[in-house]
Structure 1
């Protein structure tokens, strides 16, 4: 749709939205806005299929869809070095503070870059594999864009702090994850 001419835009100004006066009105307006966003025919409503209704309100828009659920299950079914990045980083900082200069040099120029390289390589391989498998399994899903980065970022988080919560135990296959 083309941008309206200035004359047309001035003849049809936007009306100011009246702010709710009570908490009840604010909550009602919020629920109506959510219902409109999740209405029929939108990408979000298509993606909500398969998500239990009581859980749907806790999902971010980036978490919707069967392909994203597969990516989460794939990452959650494996143990990786990336999920230990934060504790390792804290350990490296402590070593840099409390050790002699020779050890600091070895950690700063040897161990730390090796860990960073490991995380990057692991993220690239995981992202590519998840994207390839998701395209094979969900060819008609319109939410496949960015699924590799989604999986790589989820892989960096502590398992216990991942949202939505992991539904697949480590070692189980993603197909058998209960979805």
Structure 2
């Protein structure tokens, strides 16, 4: 009995084996506790977080918000128009894009086109037709004569233009003649994109 008692005392007096710590193992597997990976951006301050939480989804002054939005759209539209007028490819319509189109615009802008006078001639002819005198016949004759000159000048322009485009690029893009005619009819000051060459300054 004493031996059993002493034996139990020896077992109880022996140092127990250290218990496993699951939290420590988790820390070893995943790194030190309390350390998080970087987010790649600075952590917002408490004041910024509170301001974001209290920011209303719908603005208080809807009228002012609409005015600001309308002003922003107007500024974007004006900026796009300025870039288009300067010839920026990113803001040009599809029909105006490309090196050949830019060359055609320079070719047309470098010469005086009789087609520019088509609208003033038509207005003068209309005025002469309203005058109840013998000037009607003279006005109509002058109108038809100038119209023939416009047609001949446009044909010469398109012919020379296609020859120049073929020499520079090897091929002529489809619709080049019509594109040149539609630009030549407009007054030089109203053409878009704006002319970038002076009259007589033929593109090379």
Compute the TM-score of the two structures, normalised by the length of structure 2.
Answer: 0.54
Following TM superposition, the consecutive aligned residue runs of length 4 or more in structure 1 with deviations greater than 6 angstroms are none
- Aligned CA distance change for structure 1 residues 67 and 85 (closer, same or farther; 3 Å): same
Q: CA 1:58–1:132 in structure 2 vs 1: closer, same or farther (change >3 Å)? A: same
Structure 1, unaligned runs of 5 or more:
1-23, 25-50
Q: Of 131, 139, 158, which aligns to 1:107? A: 139
Cα deviations by residue, 1:103-149 (Å, 9 ceiling, x for unpaired): 101222x1111121111111111111111110110126xx7111122
Residue matched to 1:150: 179
For residue 122 of structure 1, the aligned residue among 137, 143, 153 is 153
Count of aligned positions: 122
From 77, 82, 92, the equivalent of 1:59 is 92
Distance 1:132 1:104, change over 3 A: same
Equivalents in 2 of 1:105, 1:161: separation in Å?
A: 32
Partner of 2:107: 74
Query: Out of 114, 120, 136, which is 1:87 matched to?
Result: 120
CA offsets, 1:56-98, max 9 Å, x none? 3431211111111111101101112211111121122112213
Aligned residue number for residue 160 of structure 1:
189
Distance, in Å, in 2 between the alignment partners of 1:165 and 1:80 is: 16
> How large is the RMSD of aligned CA atoms in angstroms?
2.5
Post-superposition Cα deviations, 1:46-65, rounded to whole Å, max 9, x if no partner, equal xxxxx9x9823431211111
Q: Structure 1-normalised TM-score? A: 0.61
CA 1:149–1:103: 2 relative to 1, 3 Å:
same
Q: Distance in 1 between matches of 2:130 and 2:99?
A: 46
Consecutive unaligned residues of structure 2, counting only runs of 5 or more, are: 1-68, 70-83
User: In 2, Cα distance between the equivalents of 1:90 and 1:62?
Assistant: 30
Aligned partner of residue 112 in structure 2, secondary structure = coil
Give the alignment of 1:5-20 within 5 angstroms.
Answer: none
